[in-house]
Amino acid sequence: MSKNIKYDRDDVIQKATNLYWEKGFHGTSMRNLQDVVDMRPGSIYATFGSKEGLYKEALQHYSEQGHDLLKSCLNSDLTPINTLKSFIKNLILGRSDNAPSCMCMLVKTVSELTEENHELLSEAKRLLNAMEKAFATVLVQAQNNGELDKTKDANAVARYLQIQLMGLRTYLRVNASSESDVDALIDDLFAKAFI
């Protein structure tokens, strides 16, 4: 009689996300995965199809966490611009103590992978673009509330914020900063976005 082992799929994906986020795709071996998610390689392949299949689900999970954080900020009583500021601050400071890396997992993926991993690279790019579109949606709300000049292209401002967020996270990886320093950097980022 075969022994059926049940896995909590969400728990496995969360653990794999943290591992991949810390080590990257190529830096994570099947042995690493086996140890962290507590599944044998055969079970990983049976459940996710491959190491790549699990990585793709980890990327999607990571992205969903970002969108959930943005929704949480939107559900507060903040204005749209302050929602984006709160999102960025929470992304940077809120995860700094428990995040496997201060770098964005999607950006790390785009930096690490080549066309040899076309499907994963395309997925990371798609997910980054989806977050940029979510920023643009909030910026349109800001325009409707009079916080952002309606002559500004919300998509261009969203792109600018995305680029600056990527750079800010990298900068803070190199230069440890206090919360007040991070607040000042975020305020400066937004001031320049609206010039």
Give the domain ranges of the chain: 57-193
| pLDDT at position 97 | 56
- The amino acid present at 194, given as its one-letter code, is F
Q: What is the mean pLDDT of each run of 10 residues along the chain (195 residues)?
A: 66 95 95 94 92 97 96 92 93 70 89 95 97 97 94 95 91 83 90 79
* Topology given in CATH for the domain delimited by 57-193: Tetracycline Repressor; domain 2 (1.10.357)
pTM of the model: 0.90
Say what the pLDDT of residue 103 is. Answer: 84
Tell me, what's the pLDDT at 77? 85
Per 3-state DSSP, the chain is made up of helix, strand and coil in percentages (nearest 5) of 75, 0, 25
Instruction: Round to the nearest angstrom and report the end-to-end CA distance of the chain.
Output: 69
| Cα 133 to Cα 5: distance, rounded to the nearest angstrom | 40
Long-range contacts of 86-89 (CB under 8 A, 24+ apart): 88/161, 88/165, 88/168, 88/186, 88/189, 89/182, 89/183, 89/186
